[in-house]
């Protein structure tokens, strides 16, 4: 075989390898701080109700993500969600998508700063004594630097972040087993009115549509776009597995004493070293998602609003920092708002774009539209009750 043919053969074989960096990027977008609210919610509604939500919303999320993958592949590159909406739905779709996306991303970045700063403070507390706001700003500054340098550097960090996530989750599971009590899984500290409580938080935890164009762009540079749907499927499967293990483990350890941010409830059980590992786990989980969300927002401002890339970066990093310093710090309220309302609107728009491109698939689109509209109505009613 000639050198030219050998090089071509090697290049072709490389293209056939499963894109592990793209998988890591999408997994780390999905597995974010939403995971820490899930055990508490399970303690309110019961483990079997939570399992049903995982099943139903997991199926819905995978279906919508695969639909968005098809929309993404049918749309010119270097656009993000608002640009997709403009191409397929027109100016009104772009305006709605732009508002929902920017507000949702900024809110999510603030939530990441709040809880990520708490985890960083708890991890470093034996050596550094400072208010949690200082750690949130440090967390933010480190993420802002990585957002500036872009996806090539970030994709490598995402892979190691995903590996670290599962190593620490495994360590928590193994060391925590002696404290695990099956009777804790029957914890149900809520009431029948809480049945719909998981909707917003679970949808927030499972949603990753914001990074699908980013992953498509990564795969496009490697001429491997055919892997987009398998990456979405396996990312969803890995995320659901991680959520299930984490929820069962924390609930089995703390039962009705499960706290809203999950890890804080482990203080009474674990010693210093394992507790520090738990806080490191929380920091890594939130930090990797913070980077990808910020990177995607920067590209929306650059690609869809046509801002200079440096200006887009400045807007991306200064806006959530300003809002955080102004006192917006309730991450539980952010979860409910983003997950129950903004992501449901995103889901509706993805389905409308999909139906516009493939009008003969209404049998798939219409049930999902009804589902998301019902979710928005419920979330509004639950919020104002």
- Domain edges within the chain: 25-383
Q: What is the pLDDT of residues 72-113, one digit of tens each?
A: 888 876 677 888 888 899 989 989 988 888 888 888 888 888
Which residues in 197-310 belong to E strands, given as ranges? none
Fold for the domain defined by 25-383: Amino acid/polyamine transporter I (1.20.1740)
Task: Pick the closest to residue 198 from 78, 306, 339 (CA basis).
Answer: 339
> What is the C-alpha to C-alpha distance for residues 307 and 290, in angstroms, rounded to an integer?
21
Confidence class for position 384, pLDDT limits 50, 70, 90: low
Q: What is the pLDDT of residues 3-21, one digit of tens each?
A: 455 444 444 444 467 788 7
Average pLDDT of span 230-254: 91
Helix axes 47-73, 228-254, angle to 10 degrees: 160
Rounded to the nearest 5°, which phi and psi values hold at 303? -80, -40
> What is the C-alpha to C-alpha distance for residues 182 and 353, in angstroms, rounded to an integer?
45
Q: What is the pLDDT of residues 151-164, one digit of tens each?
A: 555 556 667 777 87
Q: What is the pLDDT of residues 319-353, one digit of tens each?
A: 999 988 888 777 667 777 787 888 899 999 999 99
């Amino acid at each position: 075989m000639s050198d030219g043919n050998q090089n071509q053969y090697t290049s072709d074989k490389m293209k056939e390898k499963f894109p592990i960096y793209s998988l890591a990027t999408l997994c780390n977008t999905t597995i974010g701080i939403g995971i820490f609210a899930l055990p508490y919610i399970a303690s309110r509604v019961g483990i079997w109700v939570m399992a049903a939500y995982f099943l139903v919303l997991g199926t819905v999320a995978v279906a919508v993500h695969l639909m968005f993958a098809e929309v993404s592949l049918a749309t010119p590159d270097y656009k993000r969600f608002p640009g997709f909406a403009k191409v397929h739905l027109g100016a009104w779709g772009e305006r709605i998508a732009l508002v929902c996306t920017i507000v949702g991303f900024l809110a999510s970045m603030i939530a990441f700063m709040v809880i990520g700063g708490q985890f960083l403070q708890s991890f470093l507390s034996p050596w550094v004594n400072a208010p949690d706001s200082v750690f949130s700003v440090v967390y933010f500054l480190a993420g802002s630097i990585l957002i500036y340098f872009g996806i090539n550097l970030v994709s490598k960090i995402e892979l190691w972040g995903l590996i670290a996530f599962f190593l620490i989750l495994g360590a928590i599971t193994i060391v925590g087993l002696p404290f695990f009590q099956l009777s804790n899984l029957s914890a149900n500290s809520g009431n029948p009115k809480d049945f719909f409580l998981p909707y917003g938080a679970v949808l927030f935890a499972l949603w990753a549509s914001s990074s699908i164009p980013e992953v498509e762009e990564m795969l496009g540079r490697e001429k491997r776009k055919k892997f987009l749907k398998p990456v979405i499927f396996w990312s969803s499967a890995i995320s659901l597995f991680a959520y299930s293990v984490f929820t069962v483990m924390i609930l089995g350890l703390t039962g009705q004493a499960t706290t809203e941010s999950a890890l804080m409830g482990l203080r009474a059980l674990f010693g210093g070293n394992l507790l520090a590992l738990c806080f490191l786990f929380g920091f890594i989980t939130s930090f990797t998602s913070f980077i990808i969300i910020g990177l995607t927002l920067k590209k929306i401002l650059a690609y869809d609003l046509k801002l200079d890339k440096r200006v887009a970066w400045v807007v991306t990093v200064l806006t959530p920092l300003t809002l955080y310093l102004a006192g917006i710090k309730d991450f539980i309220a952010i979860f409910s708002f983003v997950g129950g309302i903004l992501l449901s609107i995103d889901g509706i728009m993805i389905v409308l774009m999909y139906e516009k491109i493939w009008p003969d698939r209404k049998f798939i689109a219409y049930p999902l539209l009804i589902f998301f509209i019902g979710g928005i109505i419920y979330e509004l009613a639950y919020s104002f009750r």
